[in-house]
Structure 1
Amino acid sequence: MASLRAYWRFVVVAWQFLPLVVSYLRDRRRFLLFGGRRRVTTRMQTARAEHLVESLLTLGPTFIKLGQLLSTRPDVLPPTYVDVLTQLQDRVPPAEWAEAREVLEAEVGPVDDAFDDFDTDSISGASLGQVYKAEIDGETVAVKVRRPGIEPLVEADLRVVRWMLPVILFVADDARAFSLETLADEFSKTIREEMDYEREAAMLEEIRGNFADDDGIAIPAVYDERSGERVLTMQFLDGTKISDVETLDRRGVDRHAVAVRLQRAYMQMLVADGVFHADPHPGNLAVQDDGTVVFYDFGMSGRVDDFVQGKLVEFYVAAADQDTDAILDVLVELGALSPEADRAVMTEVMELAIQDARGEAIEEHRVQQIVGKVEDTIYEFPLRLPSELALVLRVATVVEGVCLTLDPDFDFIDTATDYLLEQGYHEESAKQLLEEYGTETARAAQSMLRVPRKLERTLDRVDRDDLYVRADVEDGNGVFDRLARRLSYAVLAASGVFSTAFLYAFADLEATAVAGGLTLVVLAGLFRSLRTPKRGSSSIRAAGEMAQQSLQNRRGGR
């Protein structure tokens, strides 16, 4: 039965995506089987991205989540698609209460025994679950229940994604093969984690503990005794949706302060705690009347290891110092930017990004000037993002959008710099740099003290005619052997030509023919020795040409 369902889903999914596949193939061959490439405009990409969103919504929960994950992967899709997919939200009608009740009671027992009161109308619906309000001992709680029957549908859809992957890899270029394969693995892991409410409860409690001393951040507590793998009961925290700026203004909330609090919270999660809430869209963030930021829905959450945390600190410090070279170095070390990317172009991009992050006005013509360059660098040399780094990128992008909604002139770099200074990260980086320079300076000073004595001893030996120089020449490429061989061939050829001429003048034709034949053999050997060595002294130039040709082939293959 499961296999039949998967086969049917494969047909449905293939039919939904068929127009996009045909369009993509026509981009590569104007008339499918022949013709040159078709030029794709930004407007065409936007229209296709919007069609993709509608297809994902039609296909249901699994593919909605796939679209949300794709919105975090600029290494897989062009920027236009990423921008449109970022707006993708769950738009799935709630399940019937009778079906949801079966799931709830299977986890926590009869509803009337587990809760004092239970509102059967869901207050929030999503692709994988829906939320209800209830009461326990006079306290209002939020009860998150996994959508009934979602498990077999997700498993069938994951199987379909696996079946489709070879086809996608066949039509996609080689540069994106790695990213697509890792994306499939990541998607399977992410959606299963998001359906596991026991994991979500553990992540929620850990992050809540990290902010226990911060009165400006509110995270709901978990009722463990009324939670399970498919049900999560939490403290109900009310607030105004963070993007509802009109209501925030009406209630006298300082929106700039809220934006600062939100960014500082995510900086703490990323660079200090190593565990973070990874889905900060406005539906999961609220603001209370005193400016406290409330976090909801920890189903999508992640961790960063010590290496990534250290690099993120370096990135923020470099951004604060407006050191674009250091920023690019960090991105390369993180794997977020190909070492082959044009650093000159990326420097322009980083300068523009810093200017934008500071809330400064950007000249429109400059943006238009480098947009083409950006697409030719980032998408031409695709990113290969680790899954945790892709989540970090998503968080940074979405938080930026939320903060700009709160305060259009918000300065991300100033806020990041203040946080780093307060926590001592900036001083640590500066201290480490000074220590490195100090060590190098001490070594240089020691060398300067030793050089005069060594120089004096050497000059004394020169004065006594007691200085000997030994030179060892390495010939790993056989250059000297080839030169000796060519010289030998040249000497023999010259002797052969002279002998042949002499015999032709003073001896018979038979001897002349033998000498001439041997001379031709020697000349052929000399000519061959002059032509064949493409290695050796010219190996560096040849390697450079091979690298350049490889790069051209990669560009031409797209």
Structure 2
Amino acid sequence: MVTLVNLRAYWRFLIVFYQFSPLIVAYTRDRRRYFLFGGRRRVDPEERVRRAEILLDSLLTLGPTFIKLGQLLSTRPDILPPQYIDVLSSLQDDVPAAEWSEAQQVLEAELGPVDAVFDEFDREAISGASLGQVYKATYDGEPVAVKVRRPGIEALVEADLRVIRWSLPLIQRFIGQGRAFSLENLADEFAKTIRQEMDYTREKRMLEEIRGNFEGDENIRIPDPYDEASGPRVLTMEYLPGVKISDVTALDELGVDRHDLAERLDRIYLQMIIEDGVFHADPHPGNLAVQEDGSIVFYDFGMSGRVDPFIQDKIVEFYIAVANQNIDGILDTLIEMGTLSPEADRQVMSDVMELAIADARGEDIETYRVQQIIEQVESTIYEFPLRLPRNLALVLRVATVVEGVCVTLDESFDFISVATEYLSEEGYREETVKQVVEETADQFNRTAQSLVRVPPKLERTLDRAERGNLTFNVRVDDKNSVFDRLAKRLMYVFFVATGALSTAILYSFVPDDPIPAVVAAVLTLPFAFLLYRAFKSKSGLRATPQFTRQNLRDRREE
């Protein structure tokens, strides 16, 4: 079995390499304009969009595993530029269903003869996805939806996961060290995620947990699973039809208040993420429906996630800081969550956040939206670059997709306003104020203690300085290798000067035999060339700024 998987993986590797070869050639030429020589070439945003579309087509051609990979990449602004994120965000997990005869084999291997288990079973799939497909049936007299794993998908996924792992060293040649680390983490994360999504036993467990968290809430409907007709590759659940949540015309015909619907959807996800710690992570319109009474139906819990209490607290602090336009609070929260490096230039990041919020809120301070802020943060994340914890990346994706759905329902919908109101109602803002007061009091106590401890220490230090035995240890942080390049230049100058002087002396004192002077000159030329390159190089001794206001303006214009 292992040999067959390896053989299939080798074959798939060749197919994947062929499919991505145009992009590989393009990225290679970006590093060296003419492959073996020449400087880097600049890639403008239009070219990035074109390449992103090529990547999208390639992912669709390569099938289920790579479609899922593209969806995951669309949530990782720490790995891909914004243009790629925008294009891949449109990637829908919607592919033709497999033949019934193949799906039947999976069903009967899990549950037994189809007609013996179900009262009725419609052989035409009502929806198809990359990893599974859904059929309508009747079980114990009740209408049900039966989700069946796509036939043969396990072997294909395992082979593709090996291909992805084998491809990492090649891909890492075209990206920086920080993104290379993120990409390796992404590969591990993707392998875990896609295996979990193929396990319908886990999906049923997550579905039941989230369903229990909303028990008695009439605003939300989650299908009830049937244990006796479910297994690792088959999930049978209550059939809950409804109008697609993005079909505003049909919703208006039902008389549904779309603003109220958007607010309820927002609050449902806030409860999942902030209170419950377990959430439905794929809220695109195909997985959300609305019934006649206005309740929201959730489908497909294969992609779901958990948030640990620490991240929950930090998300609350982030929302409150954004609502209060507290730049320092936003940066502190991002650092504590691990999204922003503590070594990042805080002043630069403050400028970025100020510009992002100013750009997002427009003329009316109360109308800015979280999605606009996140888009600006995503651009900054790619520029630095930074890493996103896995579940935080899912939360980021959920926030943007949910807000997109809410704005489709109501163009004037204010995500931040609803979130702020929700946090106030649940007492989170009061708890945060109390925490700030406690921290301020603690800081005051520490300051008072320092006022007592510092004077004696200062007096001892001044005494040592007066006696002349005060020493300092200084560590220079040379991230741009300035001293290294300066040392090389000095060395080249020394060799060139020595060579030139030797050539002049030999030519002057041995005029009848020019060969020694020529040899000295030839030996000096390489060092002269290296010295020329050292001064000609654009990197020079200048530090490269991580981010500037002009960068952000250019990105907006592009």
Identity of aligned residues (%): 61
Matched, 1:304 2:307: yes
State the match for 1:432 in structure 2.
435
* Distance (whole Å) between structure 2 residues aligned to residue 189 and residue 553 of structure 1: 43
State the match for 2:201 in structure 1.
198
Structure 1 residues 93-119: Cα deviation after superposition (integer angstroms, max 9, x where no partner)? 211101101101111111112111110
| Contact 2:94–2:130 under 8 Å retained in 1 | yes
Matched, 1:32 2:38: no
Q: In the TM superposition, what is the alpha-carbon distance from 1:331 to its structure 2 partner? A: 1.1
Matched, 1:123 2:126: yes
Matched, 1:51 2:54: yes
* Distance (whole Å) between structure 2 residues aligned to residue 186 and residue 344 of structure 1: 31
Counterpart residue type for residue 543 of structure 1: V
Structure 1 residues 161-211: Cα deviation after superposition (integer angstroms, max 9, x where no partner)? 111111111232212111011000001000000000000000000000001
Matched, 1:416 2:419: yes
Matched, 1:268 2:238: no
Aligned positions of 1:343-354 closer than 5 A:
343-352=349-358
| Contact 1:122–1:132 under 8 Å retained in 2 | yes
- Of 355, 361, 366, the residue aligned with 2:361 is 355
| Contact 1:338–1:381 under 8 Å retained in 2 | no
State the match for 2:476 in structure 1.
543
Q: In the TM superposition, what is the alpha-carbon distance from 1:345 to its structure 2 partner? A: 3.0
* Distance (whole Å) between structure 1 residues aligned to residue 248 and residue 476 of structure 2: 59
Distance 1:91 1:216, change over 3 A: closer
Between 333-342 and 8-17, report the one with greater CA deviation: 333-342
Counterpart residue type for residue 258 of structure 1: L
Q: In the TM superposition, what is the alpha-carbon distance from 1:360 to its structure 2 partner? A: 3.4
Structure 1 residues 119-154: Cα deviation after superposition (integer angstroms, max 9, x where no partner)? 010001000000000112321110000000101100
| Contact 1:29–1:35 under 8 Å retained in 2 | yes
State the match for 2:153 in structure 1.
150
Counterpart residue type for residue 254 of structure 2: R
State the match for 1:160 in structure 2.
163
Distance 1:442 1:232, change over 3 A: same
Structure 1 residues 301-352: Cα deviation after superposition (integer angstroms, max 9, x where no partner)? 0101111011011111112212122112111211222331522332234414
Structure 1 residues 391-432: Cα deviation after superposition (integer angstroms, max 9, x where no partner)? 111111111211111111111111001111111111111112
SS of aligned partner of 1:330 = helix
* Normalised TM-score (structure 2): 0.79
State the match for 1:97 in structure 2.
100
| Contact 1:314–1:429 under 8 Å retained in 2 | yes
Larger Rg: 1
- Of 443, 446, 460, the residue aligned with 1:471 is 460
* Distance (whole Å) between structure 1 residues aligned to residue 304 and residue 123 of structure 2: 28
* Distance (whole Å) between structure 1 residues aligned to residue 263 and residue 405 of structure 2: 11
Give the gaps of 5 or more residues in structure 2. Answer: 484-538, 548-558
Q: In the TM superposition, what is the alpha-carbon distance from 1:555 to its structure 2 partner? A: 5.0
State the match for 2:507 in structure 1.
none
Distance 1:271 1:4, change over 3 A: same
Counterpart residue type for residue 169 of structure 2: P
Distance 1:197 1:472, change over 3 A: same
| Contact 2:147–2:234 under 8 Å retained in 1 | yes
* Distance (whole Å) between structure 2 residues aligned to residue 133 and residue 358 of structure 1: 49
* Distance (whole Å) between structure 1 residues aligned to residue 543 and residue 113 of structure 2: 62
Q: In the TM superposition, what is the alpha-carbon distance from 1:375 to its structure 2 partner? A: 8.2
* Distance (whole Å) between structure 2 residues aligned to residue 247 and residue 174 of structure 1: 50
Counterpart residue type for residue 310 of structure 2: F
Aligned positions, number: 478
| Contact 2:219–2:296 under 8 Å retained in 1 | yes
Between 77-86 and 168-177, report the one with greater CA deviation: 168-177
Between 408-417 and 30-39, report the one with greater CA deviation: 30-39
Distance 1:158 1:361, change over 3 A: closer
Counterpart residue type for residue 351 of structure 2: V
Between 335-344 and 138-147, report the one with greater CA deviation: 335-344
Structure 1 residues 258-302: Cα deviation after superposition (integer angstroms, max 9, x where no partner)? 111111111111110000111111111111122211110000001
| Contact 2:278–2:305 under 8 Å retained in 1 | yes
SS of aligned partner of 1:259 = helix
Q: In the TM superposition, what is the alpha-carbon distance from 1:354 to its structure 2 partner? A: 5.4
Between 421-430 and 195-204, report the one with greater CA deviation: 421-430
* Normalised TM-score (structure 1): 0.79
Between 343-352 and 436-445, report the one with greater CA deviation: 436-445
Counterpart residue type for residue 349 of structure 2: R
* Distance (whole Å) between structure 1 residues aligned to residue 207 and residue 408 of structure 2: 26
| Contact 1:338–1:382 under 8 Å retained in 2 | no
Counterpart residue type for residue 387 of structure 2: R
Distance 1:234 1:81, change over 3 A: same
Give the gaps of 5 or more residues in structure 1. Answer: 459-466, 484-535
Q: Which runs of 4+ in 1 moved over 6 A?
A: 356-359, 373-376, 442-448, 473-476, 550-554
Q: In the TM superposition, what is the alpha-carbon distance from 1:213 to its structure 2 partner? A: 2.3
| Contact 1:319–1:327 under 8 Å retained in 2 | yes
Distance 1:359 1:434, change over 3 A: closer
| Contact 2:78–2:378 under 8 Å retained in 1 | no
Counterpart residue type for residue 391 of structure 2: E
| Contact 1:133–1:141 under 8 Å retained in 2 | yes
Distance 1:444 1:131, change over 3 A: same
Q: How large is the RMSD of aligned CA atoms in angstroms?
A: 3.3
Between 170-179 and 272-281, report the one with greater CA deviation: 170-179
Aligned positions of 1:366-381 closer than 5 A:
377-381=380-384
Between 131-140 and 147-156, report the one with greater CA deviation: 131-140
State the match for 2:488 in structure 1.
none
- Of 231, 246, 251, the residue aligned with 1:248 is 251
Matched, 1:227 2:230: yes
State the match for 2:26 in structure 1.
23
Distance 1:361 1:306, change over 3 A: closer
* Distance (whole Å) between structure 1 residues aligned to residue 230 and residue 260 of structure 2: 35
Counterpart residue type for residue 132 of structure 1: Y
Aligned positions of 1:475-514 closer than 5 A:
none
* Distance (whole Å) between structure 1 residues aligned to residue 263 and residue 169 of structure 2: 45
